[in-house]
Amino acid sequence: MRVYISTKKLLAITLLSVSSLSYAQKKVLKLADPLTSNMVVQQNQPFTVWGTATAGKEVKIVADWASPIAVYADKEGKFKGIVPAINTKKGDYTKHSLLIYSGKEKAQLTNLLIGELWICSGQSNMQFGMKEVANAAAEIAAANNPNIRLFNTGLNFSNTPIDNVTGKWVACTPETVKEFSAVGYYFGAMLQRELDVPIGLLFTGIGASAAQAYVPKEVLADDPLLNSTYLDPYLKSEKSKEIITGGFSFEKVMRPYLLYNAMIHPFRNLSIKGVVWYQGEANHKEREAYTQIMYAMIGAWRNAFAQGNFPFYYVQIAPYYHDVEDPALNEDAFFREAQEKVSRFANTEMVVTMDVGEAKDLHPKNKKPIGLRLAKTALNRTYGRLTEQYKGPQFDYATFEGDRVTVNFITESVGEGLQTNDGQAPRYFEVAGKDQVFYAATAVIVGCKIVISSPKVKQPLAVRYAFTNYPVTNLENMHSIPAVPFRSDNWKEIEK
């Protein structure tokens, strides 16, 4: 049976279809990608709501915790409104909502919590997921906490700063936490437990990535050392002329500024509490340049987010042998020294991992202590819990008397005293005489000091601790926080 449609009716159907398509195309009201249902809104800071709408149109923003506000989309269709801050109380897990509408269009966020929002970034040891940790099944099963919210940023690269990212906020469950950063989760879980407020954790990073990938192009260009080390060689290479796509390669994550443009810049309007960072393996052959690029990166992020000198807490690289079994090699020790210098920058602190590393595994599975140490740092430095011990024994000075060396630590870093985590004598102390050749030394805890000697060095002039590539250490304070590697000398590094 044939069905005949008159020309007049066909025209009406066509016009209706075009009209429906045209109406659909006009639906341009959209919230920025980082803003999704289930997110945590940072307390005590204005909440920026941004996105796109029809150019010139009014956009009304209605948050259930504040009076409505109205803004207008600019000529490019972008809008940004500031919702007043709100302070959440301990134990307050009230679910909030936010509505935006412009003309006949509307968009809504639901199941929002108000609390503390932290960015987690870096390379593979920060990306390392919960499904890979020691005792993963039990740890994942215990990670059922809807008052922690997670955002995993999809990988992307860009030659120019962009606004779009992929990812969405989800409640923390055994299923959603599997792929999330283990260091980030343990950090957030302790904060949530201790502060009793909602915690948001936003991971944006990728394995194998270098520090220069997270720094804006113009910041690299303005610093002679960074320009000559990272930017200029790249811009003169054939790689810089390639069309940039979002696919992963070990080479691409080393390129300057591409990850900043695609994975940091899009979040710049988001109110945050601070950043936790675990990166360095990709730059481990560098010294002064790494310290300088970290200063530049932290400053650039703070400038982009325009929220003052927010906390930046980072992790020192763990022991690793780089497939060479030579306990005397120490290039990573000099790099850790460059990392330690980053903590001279305002409102930064370093976490040590020398006791939880695995010498032959670049990705140690015991991530829990690292996350907890970051959390202890934040509890003390950010949240004012001054009794929370977060520092490990830190070298102050050494005295040399005959064949003995006495190591003194900064008093507050020792806390209630020194110990070893296995009841054995402290390991990985070395001394050297005027020939600058280091020999293993015997170390004994005497009160809050370490006394060291070696039969091979009659008149020591220098002492080093854990100053090689892969020493898994045992020296700590009574709060189980490991001692920071150090050297008393300033002798030049010998290339091996």
Q: What is the DSSP string of 126-158?
A: HH-BGGGSTTHHHHHHT--EEEEEEEEPPP---
Residue 482 counted as domain residue: yes
329 and 402 together in one domain: no
Coil/strand/helix, residue 344: coil
Residue 448 shares a structural domain with residue 305: no
Q: Are residues 360 and 428 in the same domain?
A: no
- The pTM assigned to this predicted structure is 0.94
Which residues, including other chains, have CB under 8 Å from residue 127's CB and lie 6 or more apart?
Answer: 181, 203, 205, 206, 207
Residue among 365, 367, 416, 368 nearest 391 (CA): 416
Instruction: Please report the sign of the dihedral spanned by the C-alpha atoms of residue 299, residue 273, residue 389, residue 423.
Output: negative
Residue 289 located in a structural domain: yes
Phi/psi of residue 75, each to 5°? -65, -20
Positive or negative, the CA dihedral 487, 488, 490, 495 is: negative
Locus of tokens 């990988």: 155
pLDDT of residue 2: 38
Burial call 427-465: b when 16+ CB within 10 Å, e when fewer: bbbbbbbeeeebeebebeeeebbbbbbbeebeebbbbbb
305 and 418 part of one domain: no
pLDDT at 137 over 60: yes
Same domain, yes or no: 245 and 375: yes
Cα–Cα dist 33/247, whole Å: 20
d(CA 407, CA 410): 10
Answer yes or no: do 261 and 401 share one domain.
no
The residue that leads in pLDDT, 85 or 270, is: 270
Q: Is residue 283 one of the residues assigned to a domain?
A: yes
Alpha carbon distance 206, 240 (integer Å): 20
Indicate whether 357 and 471 sit together in one domain.
no
Q: If you ran DSSP here, which 8-state letter would residue 241 be given?
A: G
The answer to whether residue 272 scores a pLDDT higher than 60 is: yes
| Mean pLDDT on 310-330 | 97
Q: What is the mean pLDDT of residues 178-197?
A: 98
Mean of pLDDT values over 357-367 = 96
pLDDT tens for 50-80 read: 999 999 999 999 999 999 999 999 999 999 9
pLDDT of residue 26: 59
Average pLDDT, integer, range 408-428 = 97
Maximum CA extent, the chain: 111
Name 101's Cβ contacts closer than 8 Å, sequence gap at least 6: 29, 59, 60, 62, 107
Nearest to 448 by CA among 392, 493, 403, 393: 393
Judgement on whether residues 358 and 405 belong to the same structural domain of the protein:
no
What is the spatial distance between Cα 33 and Cα 263, in angstroms, rounded to a whole number?
Answer: 12
Q: Structural domain tally of the chain? A: 2
Assess if residue 362 is contained within a domain: yes
Does some domain include residue 70?
Answer: no
Q: Which residues pair with 440 in a beta bridge?
A: 430
Asked if pLDDT for residue 9 goes beyond 90, the answer is: no
pLDDT at 18: 40
- Check: CB of residue 393 under 8 Å from CB of residue 409: yes
Does residue 193 sit in the same domain as residue 298? Answer: yes
Looking at the fold, whether 192 and 287 belong to one and the same domain comes out as yes
Structural domain contains residue 208: yes
Mean pLDDT of the 129-157 span? 97
Least trusted range by pLDDT, from 26-30, 334-338, 451-455: 26-30
Distance from C-alpha of 126 to C-alpha of 171, rounded to nearest angstrom: 20
- Nearest by Cα to 212 from 173, 244, 253, 180: 253
Q: What single letter denotes the amino acid at residue 152?
A: N
CB 324 within 8 A of CB 288: no
Within this chain, do residues 373 and 424 fall inside the same structural domain, yes or no?
Answer: no
Beta strands (DSSP E) in 132-253 are 145-152, 169-172, 199-203
The span from the CA of 303 to the CA of 326, in Å, is 43
Final residue before a domain boundary, out of 351, 381, 411: 381
Which tokens hold the place of 252? 């691409």
As a whole number of angstroms, the distance between CA 309 and CA 374 comes to 18
- pLDDT one-digit tens code per residue, 366-408: 999 999 999 999 999 999 999 999 999 999 999 999 999 999 9
Last residue of a domain, one of 357, 381, 405: 381
Say if 111 falls within a structural domain.
Answer: no
Across 185-200, average pLDDT: 98
Percent of the chain with pLDDT over 70: 95
Beta-strand (E) ranges in 73-222?
78-83, 96-102, 105-122, 145-152, 169-172, 199-203
Smallest CA-to-CA distance from 488 within 423, 420, 436, 448 is with 436
Spatial distance between the Cα atoms of 453 and 410, rounded to a whole number of angstroms: 21
| Closest to 245 measured CA to CA, from 154, 153, 159 | 159
257's CB contacts (< 8 A; 6+ apart) are: 212, 213, 215, 216, 217, 220, 231
Whether 245 and 354 share a structural domain:
yes
140 in a structural domain: no
Cα–Cα dist 372/193, whole Å: 11
Q: What is the structure's pLDDT at 472?
A: 98
Which helix (H) or strand (E) is 62 found in, with range? strand 58-63
Contact 116, 269 (CB under 8 A): no
Residue at which a domain ends, from 381, 409, 443: 381
Instruction: Name the residue range of residue 225's domain.
Output: 171-381
What CATH number did the domain enclosing 329 receive? 3.40.50.1110
| Length of the chain as a residue count | 496
pLDDT in tens, 200-238: 999 999 999 999 999 999 999 999 999 999 999 999 999
| Per-residue confidence (pLDDT) for residue 496, from 0 to 100 | 73
